Amino acid sequence: MMIIMKVNATPQQVEGVIASVKEAGLNVHLSQGVEATIIGAIGETHNIPLERFESLDGVDLVQRITQPYKLASRQFHPENTILNIDGFTVGGDEIAVMAGPCAVESRSQIIETAIAVKEAGASALRGGVFKPRTSPYAFQGLGEEGLELLAEAREETGLPIVVEIMSQVQLDVMVKYVDVFQVGARNMQNFNLLRAIGETRTPVLLKRGLSASIEELLMSAEYILAGGNNRVMLCERGIRTFETSTRNTTDINAIPVLKNLTHLPVILDPSHSTGHANYVAAVARAGIAAGADGLIVEVHPDPAKAVSDGKQSLKPEAFAEMVKQVGQIAQVMGRGLAVSSAYQPAKQGWA
């Protein structure tokens, strides 16, 4: 349930209500917005009458949260959550663009890509080092060596790094390097991993599962939020349908639906949702027009030689044109592109 405090409620009254919620055996999640302070009472509340909290000093209204996802619900948190990630924001008026290769392959490849996407207007660098591949014989990633190369690329460009985590056993090493954890589609319902990430305060990009409903995506986000990590972004990356002309089917509907149901930022992945570089820019434009808060795009300096997902990777010049286009659409929507304030101009002539 959610306890809405009066506008003039004092800090002492808020603390008194929090103490009462804890006495009832419930967890407390405090949301202090511009217009209201809301105390979330999370747990088994069906046997607890609303009157238990309605009579407390400073309380304006007590309501039950109807959705099964409580903390992710816009009912609990009416205002958009805006995340500040190393100098750029996600969830407000600015569009975040995260870009880079599917897999980190070498020092020269990741440095070249990082410089190129930064100069094109990206606000973060993505790159995989632990790869969840369908075949056990396919390239599985460089592991910690790849993390070290991403950290070097971050030092060179100032771009924060977004890296997929596959298991909680990788958490200790990854938390030392990574600015944003990416939870891939195959791990959306890896609840042990979600719980472990919830205990960190590292931002999380949570991708929708291959055949997951929107409610299932939000319930997975709830695991992270319930652990105390409220720095969560949701990602629509296409769902599996009967259609075979693209890798997946981009659920553009999911963007406005999620924006209506949840306060969490919503990101679109036009690379995985189409599987074809020729379609990436068009779907990216559609996503921003539909209200997405950002994009995550695969970019490779030589897609034909990529060890993973080369078919859907943009060349740097195509990525730059895409950023220009989505920036124009963002302006029409009254928004702009997010740029990391930590950025320092990249060195030229990197060898």
Among 125-134, 179-188, 295-304, which stretch is predicted with the lowest mean pLDDT? 125-134
**More confident call, 45 vs 279:** 279
Distance separating alpha carbons of residues 67 and 79, to the nearest angstrom: 17
Positions of CATH 3.20.20.70 in the chain: 83-337
**For the structural domain made of 2-63, what CATH number should be given?**
3.30.70.1140
Distance separating alpha carbons of residues 271 and 283, to the nearest angstrom: 9
Give the model confidence (pLDDT) of 62-90 as tens digits.
999 888 999 999 988 888 999 999 878 99
Give the model confidence (pLDDT) of 144-172 as tens digits.
999 999 999 999 999 999 999 999 999 99
- pLDDT score of 137: 65
Tell me the C-alpha to C-alpha distance, in Å, between residue 73 and each of 17, 33, 48, 69, 119. 21, 14, 21, 6, 37
Q: Specify which of 26-40, 129-143, 175-189 reaches the highest per-range mean pLDDT.
A: 175-189
Q: Model-level pTM?
A: 0.89
- pLDDT score of 347: 37
State mean pLDDT over 255-266: 98
Sheet containing 2-5: which strands, arranged edge to edge? 27-32, 37-42, 2-5, 59-63
Give the model confidence (pLDDT) of 215-227 as tens digits.
999 999 999 999 9
State mean pLDDT over 114-134: 90
State mean pLDDT over 267-278: 97
Question: Tokens standing for 68?
Answer: 């099964």
Q: Quick one: 83-337 is in which CATH superfamily?
A: Aldolase class I (3.20.20.70)
Is it the case that residue 265 has pLDDT exceeding 50?
Answer: yes
State mean pLDDT over 265-273: 98
What's the CA angle centered on 336, arms 89 and 126, to 5 degrees? 50
Is it the case that residue 134 has pLDDT exceeding 80?
Answer: no
Tell me the C-alpha to C-alpha distance, in Å, between residue 313 and each of 67, 92, 113, 129, 155. 38, 27, 12, 17, 24
Cβ pair 338, 294 in contact under 8 A: yes
The pLDDT confidence band at residue 108, using thresholds 50, 70 and 90, is very high
Positions of CATH 3.30.70.1140 in the chain: 2-63
Q: What is the mean pLDDT of the chain?
A: 92
State mean pLDDT over 317-346: 83
- pLDDT score of 340: 62
Distance separating alpha carbons of residues 316 and 323, to the nearest angstrom: 11
Tell me the C-alpha to C-alpha distance, in Å, between residue 117 and each of 96, 110, 235, 274, 285. 12, 10, 20, 20, 18
Give the model confidence (pLDDT) of 316-329 as tens digits.
999 999 999 999 99
Distance separating alpha carbons of residues 62 and 350, to the nearest angstrom: 60
